[in-house]
Every structure is written in structure tokens, then in C-alpha cells.
Amino acid sequence: MGFAKKEYDFLKEIGLSSENLGCFVDGTWKAHGPVVSSVNPVNNQTIATVMEASIDDYEEGMRACSEAAKIWMTVTAPKRGEIVRQIGEALREKLCQLGRLVSLEMGKILAEGIGEVQEIIDMCDFAVGLSRQINGLIIPSERPNHMMLETWNPLGVVGVITAFNFPCAVLGWNACNALVCGNCVVWKGAPTTPLITIAITKLVAAVLEKNKLPGAIFTAFCGGAEIGQAIAKDTRIPLVSFTGSTKVGLMVQKTVNERFGKCLLELSGNNAIIVMDDADIKLAVRSILFAAVGTAGQRCTTCRRLILHESIYQTVLDQLVELYKQVKVGDPLEKGTLLGPLHTPTSRQNFEKGIEKIKSQGGKILTGGTVIESEGNFVRPTIVEISPKSNVVQEELFAPVLYVMKFKTFEEAVEINNSVPQGLSSSIFTQKPELIFKWLGPLGSDCGIVNVNIPTNGAEIGGAFGGEKATGGGREAGSDSWKQYMRRSTCTINYGNELPLAQGINFG
Ligand code: UN1
């Protein structure tokens, strides 16, 4: 069946049509839940429809996925890496179409849409290497003729619940590691980005099929809270990775913990950039623009608080306000656009409510602060002068709104940086080595991501990504994040005939 608009025809190249089934269950596409529309945030018109998962679809999918886990965990790790390599290749082939879909359905500009798909490709490359490095330790035993070692085994099934703002990259962070570690993946994408969930799953499914592996190794559901809750409660899923708000994350964590499952949480951020008196101002201003306006302020790593030294306060602010006025707002697929629409009409309403609250708490709007009248969800990029003690500054408003505040000393700036409930990302602009190392040290930033002379957002996949405090404590993507997707066994082997006991205990 054809799409309502000719401009959507490229979606056929990535396996989508105007009506889609939203569950990949036991290697087949089906669905018995409600039909929802995927909507273009530029004009709020339907791109295509998707039938979501019913609870029965979920049950069927999970049964097959649990069975497939028994097969997948016995495939050798380098062979699993080879499958992930092929997924990476398939993504490379469709990079442009998938990037365009991300822009179309989520609303981020094309460069960022393509960047998001590139992030999964990078994760595939990382995971291929990892598949030959899932190494355990050999530990010297205190007992004669004994040996201690660590082995890493798969958990079985890993649940991945992702958010609209990174509708596929965050799947990549989790699924690439989970798969090479020998786990099946069950994915619930965001309810408002079902086409991305389907397109990515189709590509993974084709690789599994080509290699004659069970499709249920990768199980996917389009759906809402009901499917999310089913995943959180499901004892067949030992690890649940969740990306979203602190409020929902806490509920997921409680449910998963109640059944002694593990959680990997990537929740709200409220990230600050500190600009010291000696900073390279040009570098800082460019970074702030990308960090605060990029993805229309809808990254968890978006810079929401700008902490400026009093001596450069006005200079930086003047340059920023000028730049903000030139930011091209428009269709994210059009060349030159820097700021696309917010994802949904509700996001736009939240922006409006947020601005009201800011004003009622004494915030002074320096630029922006209004929505743009159109059929889409466009708002103006906004800068607000405000006291760091205001309540609004403690909260994450998921929109391009930047709070600016002044400081005198480095210690004061760090205190402001650390004074919010969230602890995801942070950055300082300075050339002074002593400040750089203090910033990275125990009395510096309390965040999971601590940067110097770069924006708060745009992390590479090579490091472990995640944050402290209300951000949830999870670490995903690179470094040793993979360990969380595995069960560690500490093994002690006695290859002698005596029974020496640890701690020198003599038992009769
Ligand atoms: C998110 O917003 O959920 O560091 C993730 C960044 C991206 C990931 C953001 N690589 O901004």
C-alpha cells in the first residue's frame, strides 16, 4: 500500500509500508493490539500506522525468546561477534535512509539523525572486538594445589526499553553488548517512534535469517506502558535497561528489584557548562550552542545550566543571544536547519508551562520564550537569566531552554554544578591544569560524564555512558559496561588430595 505522501516513499527501502505490524515475535511479524499513528512533528500529520503488541503477543514473544536463549548462549562469542558485524554492515548500507527516518519521526535534524545511526554502527564495531575479549581473571589462591578463576556467562534475556529522543542509538549501546555476551534481546522502543523500532528490527531479523539463526534471538514490541510493565515484572528477564524520566525509572527499578532482577538506568540529566575567566570564549560559545540547542534540547546530555565567571559573563551572554537569534528553525530534513520541532504537541505544551513557571520564579527571558505558531511543535530557543537557587533550575525541562547564572570562584561554580538532584554530564572551559585536575577529582564534578573544553553532549561510544544520583547510576556502551550483561562466577578448583580451608580454619 502506498504512503499518503510521496516524500515518504524512501521508507519502502527500509521495509516499511503505510500500515505496519509492530511485533517481531518468534521470527514473524504480527500484532493484535491497538493501531497507532506515527506522526511527523513538523506538521503532526500521519506518516504511517502501526499495530502495537497485545499482552498475548508479548507472552508468545517471550516464550520463543527464552527458548532461543538456550541456543544463542552456546554459539561461541566470536561467532556472535560475526553476527553483530553483519548487523553493522547492514546498517552501513542503509545509513542514509535510516538517518532520514530518525529525523522524520523524531524531529532531530538530519545530521543528528544520521549521527544516531552511526552510533549503532560504532557500537557494532566495538562489540565485534569485544567478542574476542570477554576475558576472565585467574586469581592466585591462598590454598596449595588450588586455583581461582572468574568465568563470564550470559544472563539469558536482556530487556531494553528506549526513549523517543534516541530511538535507536540506545538500543545499539545495549543490544550490541548484550548479543556478543550471549544474550537474546527483547526491545520495546518508544511508543511515538514505532517506525524506527520496526525498521531496525527488520534489518537485524534479515541478518539472523541469513545465518539460519532463530529470529526470536531479537524480539521487538511496539507498545506503551503495559508492555513496559510486563518486561519489568518478567522473571525471565534478569536485566532490564531503561532510558527515560527519573520518575518512571524509579517505578521500573522498584518493580525489577522486587523480583531480584537487575536494572541499568539512564534517567534525567540537568547538565551544566562552567566557563572560567581564562576560557577560550569562541570554543565555549560554539560548544554551548550545540549543547543547548542541539536535538532541540531533548538529549539527556543537553546543557541546561550555564555557569559563567563574572568577568566574562556579559561577553559570553551577548555573543550567545546574538547567535540564538540567527538559529534557523524549521524542517529537520531541510539543509541549514539547526533547530527542528519538539517531538510532540505535549512537549510543546510542557515548554509553555515551563516558561510560565520560570517567569513566576523571577527568571528573566533574554531571548526566545515563545512557541512558533504553526501546525508543528516548534518553539524558539531560549536563554533565561536566573538564580541557581530557583526551584525550576532543579528540574529537567526537555526543551531548548538554557538557564544562565554567575559565579566568582571555581569552588562556587563546582558547588552550583553539583547542587541539582541529577548527575549525568558536566563540562568546564579553562586552560588551567590545576583547575582541570580539580574538576576531575574527588571535590570536582559529581557527574558520570566530566568534560573539559567540549560540550556536555555528543559522547563517544568508547566510554561508559551514564550518570549518578537521580540519573540512575547505570553505565552503558563502551569501556567495561559489557560486564553488566553477564553473570560472573568465581570458581575455585582443588586439584590436590588435601582439603586446606581458607583463613587457615582447622575443622576437626
Ligand atoms: C540521550 O540523550 O539519551 O552523548 C543519550 C550524547 C549522545 C547520547 C545521548 N551520544 O549526547
For residue 457, the CA-to-ligand 1 centroid distance in Å is 6
Question: Could you give the CA distance from residue 150 to residue 373 in angstroms, rounded to a whole number?
Answer: 61
Out of 60, 105, 112, 266, the active site residue is 266
For residue 465, the CA-to-ligand 1 centroid distance in Å is 8
Out of 300, 303, 396, 447, the active site residue is 300
Sequence letter at residue 213: L
Residue from 290, 299, 398 to probe ligand 1 pocket by mutation (most atoms less than 8 Å from CB)? 299
Mean pLDDT (the chain) is: 98
- Quickly count: other Cβ atoms within 10 Å of residue 362's Cβ: 11
DSSP 218: E
Averaged pLDDT for residues 146-167: 98
pLDDT in tens, 75-125: 999 999 999 999 999 999 999 999 999 999 999 999 999 999 999 999 999
The number of the ligand 1 atom at minimal distance from the alpha carbon of 449 is: 4
Q: What is the phi/psi pair of residue 449, to 5°?
A: -120, 120
Taken in order of first residue, the domains within the chain and their CATH numbers are 56-267+472-488 (3.40.605.10), 271-460 (3.40.309.10)
Residue from 300, 450, 481 to probe ligand 1 pocket by mutation (most atoms less than 8 Å from CB)? 300
Cell triple for 261: 532482577
Residue 171 — very low, low, confident or very high, per pLDDT cuts 50/70/90?
Answer: very high
Averaged pLDDT for residues 215-226: 98
Q: For residue 224, what are the CA distances in angstroms to 187, 342, 412, 504?
A: 12, 20, 43, 56
Angle at 401 between CA 336 and CA 245, to 5 degrees: 105
pLDDT in tens, 334-366: 999 999 999 999 999 999 999 999 999 999 999
pLDDT value for 4: 84
pLDDT above 70 covers a percentage of the chain that reads 100
Give nearest CA residue, ligand 1 atom 6.
458
Residue 2 — very low, low, confident or very high, per pLDDT cuts 50/70/90?
Answer: confident
φ/ψ region of 498 (left if φ > 0, alpha if ψ in -120 to 50, else beta) reads: beta
Cell triple for 104: 522524520
Q: For residue 1, what are the CA distances in angstroms to 20, 113, 270, 321?
A: 10, 26, 44, 48
pLDDT value for 1: 64
Helix, strand, or coil (residue 227)? helix
For residue 241, the CA-to-ligand 1 centroid distance in Å is 15
Cell triple for 181: 555476551
pLDDT in tens, 226-280: 999 999 999 999 999 999 999 999 999 999 999 999 999 999 999 999 999 999 9
pLDDT above 90 covers a percentage of the chain that reads 99
For residue 508, the CA-to-ligand 1 centroid distance in Å is 59
pLDDT value for 236: 98
pLDDT in tens, 407-427: 999 999 999 999 999 999 999
For residue 427, the CA-to-ligand 1 centroid distance in Å is 15
- For residues 439 and 425, the answer to whether their CB atoms sit within 8 Å is no
C-alpha 101: how far from chain center: 18
Query: Which residues have a Cβ under 8 Å from the Cβ of 93 and sit 6 or more positions away?
Result: none
Q: For residue 491, what are the CA distances in angstroms to 139, 147, 151, 494, 499?
A: 10, 8, 7, 10, 16
Does residue 375 have an active-site annotation? no
Does residue 266 have an active-site annotation? yes
Q: For residue 201, what are the CA distances in angstroms to 9, 21, 168, 247, 275?
A: 19, 12, 10, 28, 43
Question: Could you give the CA distance from residue 197 to residue 118 in angstroms, rounded to a whole number?
Answer: 16
Find the residues whose C-beta lies inside 6 A of ligand 1: 165-166, 170, 243, 299-301, 457-459
- Count the helices and strands in the chain (H runs, E runs): 13, 24
pLDDT in tens, 293-327: 999 999 999 999 999 999 999 999 999 999 999 99
The number of the ligand 1 atom at minimal distance from the alpha carbon of 266 is: 3
For residue 461, the CA-to-ligand 1 centroid distance in Å is 10
